[in-house]
């Protein structure tokens, strides 16, 4: 059987792994930027330890071909760190080395994945009085040097449950009790075993670029730089982000919902309805507090930004409601209306329009209009016609009333290029909205903020735009690249970071999204992304409680029934 690895033909002899074939072709490389670390075959991601042609498949009496190889026709694409799925394999391998090192040095300690800080992650360590980030770094370096092979094994579920219970890892035992299958896949070394819900690199020796930095209560593990993978990323100072995330974790504890197992218990007991009411009350309180701050400052404009599917539109409307309580006259504006005509935008190097680039916005016109409005002048506002791809003028004029407050919603709302010059700082209030979900699968597996946003977007795109899962996923990597460039660098500029996540929504979203996901077939290019979503949702109990969710809820922006859209 012959394969095409990155377009190069090679014979897949029985028992030889993808890694061996890549080395035979000279595709392996010491540079992380160029080195293959996983492979994609017919929509699925595989470890490089994958054997395309097993000995038993080559039996002349009973020849057969593995399902993925048959579906791909022998086409194999090697993944590198620049590929999102390659980066995920790198991170999972790092998790294995980190938690193995922690077990070896501090066997009684509890380590918990906390939150992502740019291209790094903060990990909390509890119960290790003599914890030392330097000692941990030295032990991880030794594990990398040992180049431990990472081979996945399948174990009876009950055996795994018994072991985790015996070891005191009750967070994992509780989670796995919600698993339907009677087996569990894991990676092991010595008496340590764990799993991170996806493929890893072939061995720990592939962890060539990383760092461990001391931090209060634990440490920060630093990943390679996205743009230059052969160097470590810079760890940004994010005190505001950390403060909001820690507040979310505190609320998790107060509401007894720190893990997916906790959420499932609340769902099956019916107490999820109370969780919804408390969550919604918390959001309303926070919107009220933000409105108080805007009024106390005397701000005349709120610049509201946030990544895709954060709930910006609902947040703008709910803030407007709270400002009305103060006797203000809020005016909603969108930066989208300041888009430049599509035919005037130069395409990128790939020949496509990057619609998330700040150069697609007429920043000069926006600054001029904002400066005039804040000076009490009248301005004619543009309106962007998305069907025609150009800006229009419809005679809509605006002059601020003494009690007016403009709420400007848009991707680039916190970018300094959007702020007019020579305007008193107190007149502008900057609000960043993002669903910083503090809910974990278990202590070693967090649910990324981007995961929740992707679920929201898939449901919303299907419900309101008749867009398929495949189409939404095909755009997601581009969306994420735009966020990393144009949103995340400015989030610490915000006067307030609003956490728009709700602890209950995974259970609610599952009902809406699961039928869409399970309809995606293995031969689809996006199949692996769908499978990674399903792996998490398989542990979540579905909750049929839409009737409890108020019409002004952020969640309604995605599942439908939002009163602001009627």
Look at residue 60 in the predicted model and tell me its pLDDT.
67
Choose the weakest-confidence range: 51-55, 160-164, 498-502: 51-55
- Does residue 518 sit within a domain? yes
Same domain, 19 and 71: yes
**How far is CA 153 from each of CA 43, 174, 189, rounded to the nearest angstrom?**
22, 21, 11
What is the domain-level CATH number for residue 369? Answer: 3.40.50.300
Same domain, 41 and 149: no
- Does residue 229 sit within a domain? no
pLDDT digits (tens, 9 = 90+) for 480-493: 888 888 999 999 99
Please tell me the distance from the alpha carbon of residue 479 to that of residue 482, in angstroms, as a whole number. 5
Same domain, 76 and 90: no
**DSSP category for residue 82:** T
- Does residue 415 sit within a domain? yes
The backbone torsions φ and ψ at residue 355, rounded to the nearest 5 degrees and listed phi first, read -75, -5
pLDDT digits (tens, 9 = 90+) for 261-312: 999 999 999 999 999 999 999 999 999 999 999 999 999 999 999 999 999 9
- Band the pLDDT of 260: cuts 50, 70, 90: very high
Same domain, 186 and 321: no
Same domain, 354 and 332: yes
Same domain, 190 and 100: yes
Same domain, 169 and 311: no
- Does residue 293 sit within a domain? yes
Torsion of CA 420, 423, 429, 433, to 10 degrees: 10
Same domain, 355 and 496: yes
Look at residue 66 in the predicted model and tell me its pLDDT.
82
Q: Which of 112, 93, 165, 168 is nearest to 446 (CA)?
A: 112
More confident residue, 203 or 532: 203
- Does residue 476 sit within a domain? yes
Same domain, 267 and 378: yes
Look at residue 37 in the predicted model and tell me its pLDDT.
96
- Does residue 548 sit within a domain? yes
Same domain, 68 and 136: no
Q: Which residue segment(s) compose the domain that 553 sits in?
A: 239-565
- Band the pLDDT of 408: cuts 50, 70, 90: very high
Q: Is pLDDT at 420 greater than 90 in this prediction? A: no
- Does residue 231 sit within a domain? no
Q: Which of 222, 273, 192, 22 is nearest to 118 (CA)?
A: 222
Q: Would you give the distance in Å from CA 61 to the centre of its chain?
A: 48
The backbone torsions φ and ψ at residue 408, rounded to the nearest 5 degrees and listed phi first, read -105, 115
- Does residue 232 sit within a domain? no
Task: From 65, 80, 95, give the residue that closes a domain.
Answer: 80
Task: From 187, 222, 257, give the residue that closes a domain.
Answer: 222
Q: What is the pTM for the complete model shown? A: 0.90
Rounded mean pLDDT, 445-453: 91
Same domain, 202 and 304: no
Look at residue 125 in the predicted model and tell me its pLDDT.
96
Please tell me the distance from the alpha carbon of residue 148 to that of residue 489, in angstroms, as a whole number. 36
Q: Is pLDDT at 369 greater than 90 in this prediction? A: yes
What is the domain-level CATH number for residue 102? Answer: 3.30.980.10
Same domain, 66 and 122: no
Q: Is pLDDT at 535 greater than 80 in this prediction? A: yes
pLDDT digits (tens, 9 = 90+) for 166-212: 999 999 999 999 999 999 999 999 999 999 999 999 999 999 999 99
Look at residue 566 in the predicted model and tell me its pLDDT.
59
Burial of 367 (0-12, 13-18, 19+ CB in 10 A): middle
Choose the weakest-confidence range: 388-392, 417-421, 433-437, 537-541: 417-421
**DSSP category for residue 361:** B
Choose the weakest-confidence range: 63-72, 150-159, 161-170, 546-555: 63-72
Q: What's the mean pLDDT when you consider all of the chain?
A: 92
Look at residue 62 in the predicted model and tell me its pLDDT.
65
pLDDT digits (tens, 9 = 90+) for 7-64: 999 998 899 999 999 999 999 999 999 999 999 998 899 999 999 988 887 776 666 6
Domains contained in the chain, number: 3
Q: Is pLDDT at 547 greater than 90 in this prediction? A: yes
Tokens of 435: 């669903």
The residues, ordered by sequence, that sit 6+ positions from 222 with a Cβ below 8 Å of its Cβ are 119, 120, 210, 211, 212, 213, 232, 233, 235
- Band the pLDDT of 88: cuts 50, 70, 90: very high
Find tokens 């980190």 and name the residue: 98
Task: From 43, 61, 80, give the residue that closes a domain.
Answer: 80
């Amino acid at each position: 059987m012959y394969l095409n690895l990155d377009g190069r033909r090679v014979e897949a002899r029985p028992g030889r792994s993808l890694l061996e074939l890549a080395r035979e072709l000279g595709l392996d490389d010491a540079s992380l930027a160029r080195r293959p670390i996983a492979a994609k075959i017919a929509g699925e991601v595989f470890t490089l330890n994958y054997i395309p042609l097993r000995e038993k498949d080559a039996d002349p009496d009973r020849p057969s071909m593995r399902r993925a190889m048959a579906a791909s026709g022998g086409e194999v694409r090697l993944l590198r760190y620049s590929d999102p799925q390659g980066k995920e394999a790198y991170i999972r391998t790092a998790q294995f080395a980190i938690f193995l090192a922690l077990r070896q040095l501090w066997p009684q300690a509890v380590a918990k994945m906390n939150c992502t800080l740019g291209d790094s992650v903060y990990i909390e360590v509890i119960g290790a009085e003599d914890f030392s980030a330097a000692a941990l770094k030295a032990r991880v370096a030794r594990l990398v040097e040992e180049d431990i092979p990472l081979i996945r094994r399948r174990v009876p579920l009950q055996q795994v449950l018994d072991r985790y219970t015996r070891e005191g890892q009750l967070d994992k035992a509780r989670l796995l009790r919600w698993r339907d299958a009677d087996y569990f896949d894991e990676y092991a070394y010595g008496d340590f075993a764990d799993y991170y819900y996806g493929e890893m690199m072939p061995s720990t020796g592939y962890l060539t670029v990383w760092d461990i930095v001391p931090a209060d209560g634990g440490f920060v593990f630093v990943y390679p730089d996205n743009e230059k993978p052969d160097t470590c990323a810079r760890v940004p100072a994010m005190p505001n982000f950390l403060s909001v995330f820690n507040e979310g974790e505190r609320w998790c504890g107060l509401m007894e919902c720190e893990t997916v197992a906790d959420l499932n218990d609340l769902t099956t007991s019916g107490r999820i309805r109370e969780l919804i009411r408390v969550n919604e009350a918390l959001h309303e309180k926070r919107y009220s507090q933000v409105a108080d701050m805007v009024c106390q400052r005397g701000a005349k404009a709120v610049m509201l930004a946030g990544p895709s599917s954060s709930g910006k539109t609902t947040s703008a409307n709910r803030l407007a409601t709270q400002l009305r309580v103060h006797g203000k006259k809020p005016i909603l504006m969108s930066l989208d209306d300041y888009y430049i005509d599509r035919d005037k935008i130069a395409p990128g190097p790939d020949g496509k329009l990057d619609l998330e680039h700040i150069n697609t916005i007429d920043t000069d016109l926006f600054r001029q209009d904002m400066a005039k409005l804040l000076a009490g002048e009248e301005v004619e506002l543009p309106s962007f016609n998305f069907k025609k791809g150009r800006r229009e003028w419809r005679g809509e004029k605006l002059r601020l009333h003494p009690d007016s407050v403009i709420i400007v919603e848009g991707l680039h709302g916190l970018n300094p290029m959007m702020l007019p010059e020579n305007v008193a700082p107190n007149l502008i209030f900057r609000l960043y909205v993002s669903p910083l979900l503090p809910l974990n699968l278990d202590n070693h597996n967090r649910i990324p903020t981007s995961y929740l946003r992707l679920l929201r977007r898939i449901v919303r795109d299907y419900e309101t735009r008749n867009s398929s899962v495949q189409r939404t996923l095909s755009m997601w990597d581009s969306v994420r690249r735009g966020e990393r460039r144009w949103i995340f660098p400015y989030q610490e500029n915000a006067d307030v970071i609003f956490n728009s996540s709700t602890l209950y929504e995974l259970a609610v979203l599952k009902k809406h999204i699961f039928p869409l996901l399970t309809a995606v077939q293995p031969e689809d290019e996006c199949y692996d992304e769908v499978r990674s979503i399903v792996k998490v949702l398989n542990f979540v109990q579905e909750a049929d409680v839409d009737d409890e969710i108020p019409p002004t809820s952020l969640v309604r922006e995605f599942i439908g029934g939002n009163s602001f859209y009627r």
